[in-house]
Structures are given as structure tokens and as C-alpha cells.
Amino acid sequence: MKETVVITGGGTGGHLKVADAFIEEFHKRGFKVIFIGSANGQDPNWFEDDKRLKKAFFLDTKGVVNKSFFGKIKALMQIVSQVSKCRTIFEKFNISRVISVGGFSAAPATFAAITTVDCYLFIHEQNSVMGKLNEKTARFASEIYSSFLPQSPVKDYPVNDDFFDNARIRDELKSVIFLGGSQGARAINDFALKVATDLTRLKIKIIHQTGKADFERVKDAYENLGIEADVFAFTNNLPEKMNEADFAVSRAGASTLWELCANSLPTLFIPFPHAAKDHQYTNAKFLEDKGLCYLLREEELSKEKFIEILKKDNYIISKKLVDSIKYNAIESIVDDMLDKS
């Protein structure tokens, strides 16, 4: 019978997407999987009733970033208090492998892995700049996986197969998709409305993910402009929506960035300006330096620059994106983990 592994981390959608990919891959291979996350992030929404899991534990932990001094102390004390609980879980289920996808949710199980004899710790870092937890614990890991770090044994990102299956080389411009993520991005929403009339004049269809909070405002604005746009707050069919588009405007969170690459969709990235350590900018800069995308800060955005970008030969970028990320990255990462432990 296969052993039980622990997947830990989350707090935000980017971390949880990667956690989900690991859960699916280990489950497919016949391993029993335990998820350890936080009760205070998005983690329960994703995994509370997940039938692939042997168990799911949601601990009373909170993030340390952007807290006051006393808030940081309280959060750290919460994390420390949960480490012994994780060690009890490891002992009960005979855990020898822990995979951390980062985020504050991962802290107790990560520290428990470090302080447990004969327990291998593997870290997946999503972004181009390491998160605080991964930065502190990286030297204790058996291996670190990242699409951005040159020393990573597997440099491809765990992207759902649907983004590859719906990929195509773009050789014309008939539609643009605006992506602010499931939570939305007001700056991108406002910019889309600003250029909507120009795009319509150029006979370019608009596809727009607004996020839940801004959906009604944006939908009404398109109606007032007399523009028929495909507007939605959130969708489970994002690969199909991307497939319809010939160009994208997006934030630069790691999951979305690599999904766009897998889809071979040329993109203008507008990083979230308040991301920790400005990681969204450096994520996109990694691609821009390879000639695989366009990158502008929010304050650099203008209608003129955007139209100029759309007029470029984006077929070349679309074609180059085909080789920017390989299919089945999660299989390669798990293979490497199993070889090392």
C-alpha cells in the first residue's frame, strides 16, 4: 500500500491551484493525501469536502505580512502553537514527505517537517521572488521547485491540461480578453472601458472578466457605451474564454501568467502594484526579457501605447510561447520528488 503524503499551504488562489495539482497527481498515483491549511484563508472553500483527501486539517493560523508589531507577534505565536499539532498528525499517519506550496497556511506543517526526523520537505515557489516563509525555510528543503529559479530541477509550472488543450497560434486579431483575476482588478476594468470604443471601431471583440465586486458597474458601463461585450464576474471555463481571444491584458500572478503561456496567448501584463516584494512585476519581467510578453506599470498605461502594441506582429510571440512551458509539469515534479526521497 502506498504511503500518505502531506500537502500544505494556501491562503490565496495562486497557492491553492498548485496545492490542487499536487493533490490530484499524488491521488492518481495511489498515494493517500492529507491537506494541512488554515481556517482563515480560502483553504476550506477549496478542500473541506474534497473526496481525494484522506484528511483535511484547517488550523487557526493567520498571515504575518502587513500586520502591526503586536499583530505579527500574535500570528507567530499562533503558528508556533500549531507546529506540535502537525507533528502529532505526522506521527499518527507515518508521514515522511511534506510538500509546501507556500503562503502563511504552510508555516506550521513546514516547521513540523523541519523538526521531524526522517521527514523530507519539498517546496514549490510560485513566484520570481521567494515568499517570506520559503525564504526562511529553503535551506532545510530536500528540493525547491520554481519556474523562475535556474537551479530548479523542473522549471515548468503546474498548469491544468485544459490551457494546453485549448492553445493555438494567434495569427490575427479579432478579440481581446481582459483578466483581473477572480477577485477583479479595478485598474484593468477601468482601462478596458477606456479603450472599448477604439476596440469596437477596429472590429475587435471584447471578453472581460471583471471580478464579482465590479461586475455590475462594468456591465452597465458597456451597455451605456452601446458595446456588446462578453462580460462575466468569474468562470470555470477560462481555458475556453482564452481560446476565443487573440490577445490578453492581465495581472501577473504566477498561475495566470503561466496559464496564458500554456495557451500561447500574447499578453500585456499590468502587475498589481502592491504585491509583496513587487513579485508580479518581476514575474512578468522574466517573460519580457525573453521577448514573450509586453509589460507596463499602471501609471504607464495609455490608450496610444495599447493600440500600438496591438498593431505589432504578435504572431511571433504566440509562436515562441509554445516552447515556454511544457505539458505535464506536475508529473515531472512528482517524479523528481519520489526519486529524491
DSSP 8-state assignment for residue 121: E
Nearest to 206, CA basis, from 231, 185, 182, 226: 231
Residue that has been written with the C-alpha cell 472601458 in this structure: 193
Known binding-site residue numbers:
12-14, 127, 182, 280
Helices (H), strands (E): how many in the chain?
A: 14, 12
Known binding-site residue numbers for UDP-N-acetyl-alpha-D-glucosamine:
12-14, 127, 182, 280
DSSP characters over 201-266: HTT-EEEEE--GGGHHHHHHHHHHHT---EEES--S-HHHHHHH-SEEEE---HHHHHHHHHTT--
Q: How far apart are the first and last CA of the chain?
A: 17
Residue that has been written with the C-alpha cell 498548485 in this structure: 18
Measured CA to CA, the distance from residue 311 to residue 204 in angstroms comes to 12
